[in-house]
Amino acid sequence: MNPRTISRPVRVAAALGVVVLVAAGCTSNTPEAEGSTSSDSQRAGSNNDEPGDKVTIGFSGPAADHGWLGAINSAAQAEAKKFSDVDFKAAEGTNDASQQIAQVETFINDKVDAIVLLPTDGAALTEVATKAMNAGIIVVNVDREFSTPFAARTTVLGDNYGMGVSAGTYACKLVNDKKISNPVIAEIAGIDALPLTQDRSKGFADALKACNQTVDNRVAAEFTVESGEKVASNLLQAAPKIDIIWNHDDDQGVGVMAAFDNAKRSEFAFIGGAGSANAMRWIKEGKMEATVLYPPTQAADGVRLARLLAQDKSMSDLVQVAIPRRIVLDAPVVTKENVEEYLPLGFES
């Protein structure tokens, strides 16, 4: 090859390389101090937290490509660290079901005492979870449910349907309190193909029925900021005047809020979902009416339960000796009144 044909691009490349190296200083991203994700304020007194038998807990969850999932992982890690008797093995987060199956198989081979599993897809992980149970390992299923009850000893779930109900009930309250006649109610859903989105929407619609209302405009985003902005700006065109908007997910909510600002619209009550720290700050500032919590501490609760199960302990606040089979977490509404109380639970997205 003629040396001249290559020399110029190479020179350009070298020059660019130097600039990029200088710019590389710009990747530093030291975050500000993070709030702790757990409050120990109102826990019942018992000796459950005192060190017991040494237990090994394996944890596997989806890739943390979303603020809420990131919070799930870090809360589980933080919870496990609190106990000196827990040997916590966290597998690398993955969105590939077959890779997650391999991770669970590794846990089985390692003969861990318990596995806390947030499946990428509940149905796809059911088989291997059943295998773990048959091998005598306690499986705690988190958030996305297996397709058979034999695959897990205990299941910890967020309440997606309940989230919709909470949002709808709150919307009804707004309609009644403000005496809005013929309110325009809009919904910005997450990924429509997911059962969790369908549950949330059903809950919302069912709760709205209580005050004889329906969703007038509905769009679906993809849990990302970009998609939230996109669908919200179209939605604002579709409805020139809106009274109440429920957005399923606070991660995409950042984009939704940007669309509101771009269009300079704020005539409506904006209700969020999931409970990110951003949303809670907006509530404090008065930019957002409320957000419905979907607790990012499910896996942390899963770790706690797995430890109790492995140590054969019971839940101190229940009369029943055995740990319950199924725990569905509440979906409370965070408003200006109680935002201070929930702010420590808000996750950075």
Partner 1 sequence: MSVETPRTSEEPVGTQEMAAPAATAGSGPSALSRLAGSSATRNLGLVIALVILCVVGLATAGERFGSIDNALTILRLAAVVGVVSIGMTFVICGGGIDLSVGAIVALSSVWATTLATQTLAADIHWIVMVFTALLVGGACGLVNGVLVAYGKVAPFIATLAMLASARGLAELIAQRRTQIVRDRSFIDFFGGSVLGIPVLVIIFAIVAALGWVLLNRTTFGRRTLAIGGNPEAARLAGIKVERQTAYLYVLLGLACGLAAVMLMARTTTGTSTHGGLLELDTIAAAVIGGTLLSGGRGTIVGTVLGVLIFTTLTNVFTLNNVDTSTQNVAKGVVIVAAVLLQQRLAARRRST
> In the chain, what is the straight-line distance between the N-terminal and C-terminal CA atoms, in Å?
51
Q: Report the residue number, 68 or 107, with the smaller CB distance to partner 1.
A: 68
d(CA 41, CA 64): 28
Min dist CB 39 to partner 1, Å, is: 22
Min dist CB 220 to partner 1, Å, is: 5
Q: Report the residue number, 114 or 118, with the smaller CB distance to partner 1.
A: 118
Q: Report the residue number, 52 or 70, with the smaller CB distance to partner 1.
A: 70
Site residues, partner 1 (CB under 8 A): 5-6, 8-9, 12-13, 16-17, 19-20, 23, 25-31, 64-67, 70, 192, 216-220, 222, 224-231, 233-238, 240, 251, 254-255, 257-258, 261-263, 278, 348-349
State which H helix or E strand residue 49 sits in.
none
d(CA 282, CA 326): 34
d(CA 141, CA 143): 7
Q: Report the residue number, 174 or 219, with the smaller CB distance to partner 1.
A: 219
Q: Report the residue number, 250 or 301, with the smaller CB distance to partner 1.
A: 250
Min dist CB 120 to partner 1, Å, is: 16
d(CA 132, CA 151): 8
Q: Report the residue number, 43 or 284, with the smaller CB distance to partner 1.
A: 284
* Alpha helices in 55-194, H assignment, sequence order: 67-81, 97-109, 122-134, 160-178
Q: Report the residue number, 25 or 45, with the smaller CB distance to partner 1.
A: 25
Tokens of 294: 């979907």
Min dist CB 13 to partner 1, Å, is: 6
d(CA 225, CA 254): 6
Q: Report the residue number, 130 or 198, with the smaller CB distance to partner 1.
A: 198
For the CA atoms of 251, 252, 257, 259, the dihedral, rounded to the nearest 10 degrees, stands at 160
Residue pair 319/307 in contact (Cβ under 8 Å)? The answer is no
Residue 59 bridge partners (DSSP)? 90, 116
Label each residue of 164-212 as H, E or C.
Answer: HHHHHHHHHHHHHHHCCCCCCEEEEECCCCCHHHHHHHHHHHHHHHCCC
Residue 276: exposed, middle, or buried by beta-carbon count in 10 A (0-12, 13-18, 19+)? buried
Residue 88 bridge partners (DSSP)? 57
